[in-house]
C-alpha cells in the first residue's frame, strides 16, 4: 500500500473523558442498577448483583432466552439513560484551559500534505462532537456524510441529533484514499450513543463478544478494517489515553502490528498512555 497515514496515531478509552465528568465502568454499573426500570425487574437485579461488569450483564440479559421482553427492555433503557446522564455531565462544564489543552493535544495527530491523521476511540459518548468543530477543522467522521453539529448544542440530544448508519457504506474500498489525503478522521470503533444501526437498533458495541457485534454492522466493520490497515503500516507511533487494554479484539490488532513487521512503536505502557 503506497498511501500512508500520519506517523502518530491516537486511541482513547473511557478514562479520556473521566476528568471532564465522565464515568468509569463501576459508576456506569451503579447508574444502570439504580434505574427505576431495573429496580422493578427482579431477574435483572439478580443478574446485576451476580456480575458487576455492566457490559457482561447487558450481553447476558439480551441473549438469555429465559428472560421476558420487559427484562430486556429494562436493561436497554437503563443503559441508554446512563449514557444520557454521562452526556449531561459533559455539558456546559467550566473546562477553560483544560479543554484548550486537549484540543491542542488532538491537533498534534493531524495529517500533513501527503497523509491523513487518525483519531480512534472506544468511547461512545459525544464529548468530542460537543467541544470540537468538525468540518471547520477537517475532523471528519468517515462514512457519515452529514453528522449533526453538536458543538452549538449545550443541552440534551434531540431526535434530529441521532444518526441512522448507512446500510452499505462505501468506505472499505477507499481505505487507501482515506490515508492519502489531508484529512483528520475521528473513528468510533464501538459506535456511538447517538447512532442507530442500519436495522434501527442502538449502535452501541457492548459486551464480551464485541468482535462479533462489529462484524454485523457494515460501518463498524469498515472502521475495524481501517484500524488494522493504519496500524499495520510501517513506522507508526500509537498514543493511548484512558484505555485499560480490556478488549481482546483491540489488543490483538495492536499486538500483531507490533510483532509482524509493521514496526509499530508502543514500548512504554501505563494506565494512561503508551508511546
The pLDDT score that the predictor gives to residue 269 is 41
What tens digit of pLDDT does each residue of 217-257 get?
888 888 998 999 899 888 888 999 988 888 999 999 998 88
Same domain, 39 and 172: no
- The C-alpha cell that represents 269 in the structure block: 505502557
Question: Could you list the residue range(s) of the whole structural domain that residue 63 is in?
Answer: 25-89
Same domain, 171 and 51: no
Do the domain assignments include residue 268? no
Same domain, 62 and 138: no
First to last CA, the chain: 24
* pTM listed for this prediction: 0.87
Which region among 10-24, 85-99, 183-197 has the lowest average model confidence (pLDDT)?
85-99
* Percent of the chain clearing pLDDT 90 (strictly above): 32
In whole angstroms, give the CA distance from residue 71 to residue 82: 17
In whole angstroms, give the CA distance from residue 199 to residue 134: 27
The pLDDT score that the predictor gives to residue 92 is 65
DSSP H helical ranges for the chain: 25-33, 36-39, 42-50, 54-63, 69-89, 97-107, 127-131, 175-180, 210-215, 218-231, 248-259
Q: What's the structural domain count of the chain? A: 2
Which region among 11-15, 88-92, 218-222 has the lowest average model confidence (pLDDT)?
88-92
Choose between 153 and 191: higher pLDDT.
Answer: 191
Amino acid at each position: 500500500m503506497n498511501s500512508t497515514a500520519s506517523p502518530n496515531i491516537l486511541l482513547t478509552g473511557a478514562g479520556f473523558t473521566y476528568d471532564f465528568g465522565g464515568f468509569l465502568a463501576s459508576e456506569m454499573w451503579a447508574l444502570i442498577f439504580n434505574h427505576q426500570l431495573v429496580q422493578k425487574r427482579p431477574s435483572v437485579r439478580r443478574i446485576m448483583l451476580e456480575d458487576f461488569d455492566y457490559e457482561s450483564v447487558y450481553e447476558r440479559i439480551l441473549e438469555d432466552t429465559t428472560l421476558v421482553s420487559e427484562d430486556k427492555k429494562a436493561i436497554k433503557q437503563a443503559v441508554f439513560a446512563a449514557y444520557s446522564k454521562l452526556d449531561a455531565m459533559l455539558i456546559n462544564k467550566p473546562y477553560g484551559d483544560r479543554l484548550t489543552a486537549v484540543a491542542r493535544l488532538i491537533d498534534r495527530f493531524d495529517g500533513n500534505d501527503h497523509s491523513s491523521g487518525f483519531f480512534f476511540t472506544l468511547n461512545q459518548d459525544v464529548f468530542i462532537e460537543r467541544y470540537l468543530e468538525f468540518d471547520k477543522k477537517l475532523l471528519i467522521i468517515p462514512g457519515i456524510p452529514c453528522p449533526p453539529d453538536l458543538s452549538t448544542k449545550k443541552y440534551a440530544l434531540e431526535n434530529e441529533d441521532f444518526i441512522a448508519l448507512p446500510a452499505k457504506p462505501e468506505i472499505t474500498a477507499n481505505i487507501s484514499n482515506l490515508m492519502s489525503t489531508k484529512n483528520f478522521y475521528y473513528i468510533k470503533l464501538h459506535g456511538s450513543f447517538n447512532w442507530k444501526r442500519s436495522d434501527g437498533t442502538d449502535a452501541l458495541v457492548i459486551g464480551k463478544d464485541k468482535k462479533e457485534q462489529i462484524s454485523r454492522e457494515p460501518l463498524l466493520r469498515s472502521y475495524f478494517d481501517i484500524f488494522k490497515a493504519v496500524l499495520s503500516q510501517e513506522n507508526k507511533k500509537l498514543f493511548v489515553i484512558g484505555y485499560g487494554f480490556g478488549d481482546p479484539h483491540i489488543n490483538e490488532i495492536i499486538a500483531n502490528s507490533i510483532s509482524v513487521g509493521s514496526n509499530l512503536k508502543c514500548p512504554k505502557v501505563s494506565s494512561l498512555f503508551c508511546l
